[in-house]
Structure 1
């Protein structure tokens, strides 16, 4: 299976989101307080894992990639909302923007013909 340009973009967005969310976990644990709340850290880690999984499914041409991309879009949107609550912090703002970009491309990929 040959990846389309939109799939290549989605893979790149998932890979970027994975890296940014993982770095954000470390940032949040260092900051403490509301940044380090268990629910927030859990959501960031959910985002890290689903982004990696979605990218992997697309890279290997899995016929189920539209399903992982649908879940990825939902989780990334929730993560972006969570990070937006602390958008006065540049790292959180960057994370929210990266998650939104990933959610958008994954949403499009999840509705593309399987």
Structure 2
């Protein structure tokens, strides 16, 4: 058993890993939804932001799982990207997008807390 196992990580970090993992998944699912919907949903800037959010969430979760010393820096960046993505999704005023925004906000909050430690 390594010290990187879930039992040995602080609960806040385990929660943050879960939030990042869920946010990564919802962003990928939302990209598919947006491309199918077309119009403003499929705008390149919007898709690029969702893609960046998915990427940074995956990177953030990986850094924490590895016990990387740079995880606070990555979590800080992740919080900012998640906040921007949430705002973008909220502006769409669509139930699917609102759901994505909620997951992004939750991830942003837990990542901001990790970054502050």
TM > 0.5 fold call:
yes
Task: Name 1:50's counterpart in structure 2.
Answer: 56
Superposition map of 1:16-95 within 5 A: 16-87=22-93, 89-95=94-100
Are positions 1:110 and 2:115 aligned together? yes
What is the aligned length? 111
The CA distance in 1 between the partners of 2:10 and 2:55, in whole Å, is: 23
**CA shift digits 1:9-37 (9 cap, x unpaired):** 00000000000000000000000000000
Consecutive unaligned residues in structure 2, runs of 5 or more: none
Counterpart Cα distance in 2 of 1:20 and 1:65: 22
Flag the structure with larger Rg: 2
CA drift at 1:64: 0.4
TM-score normalised by structure 1 residue count: 0.95
Report deviation, 1:56.
Answer: 0.1
Runs of 4+ deviating beyond 3 Å: none
Shift of 1:3: 1.4
| 2:14 aligned partner | 8
TM-score w.r.t. the length of structure 2 is 0.93
1:99 paired with 2:107, answer: no
- Hey, what's the Cα distance between the residues in 2 that align with 1:13 and 1:71? 15
Q: What secondary structure is seen at the aligned counterpart in 2 of 1:9?
A: helix
Return the alpha-carbon distance in structure 2 between the equivalents of residues 62 and 52 of structure 1.
Answer: 14
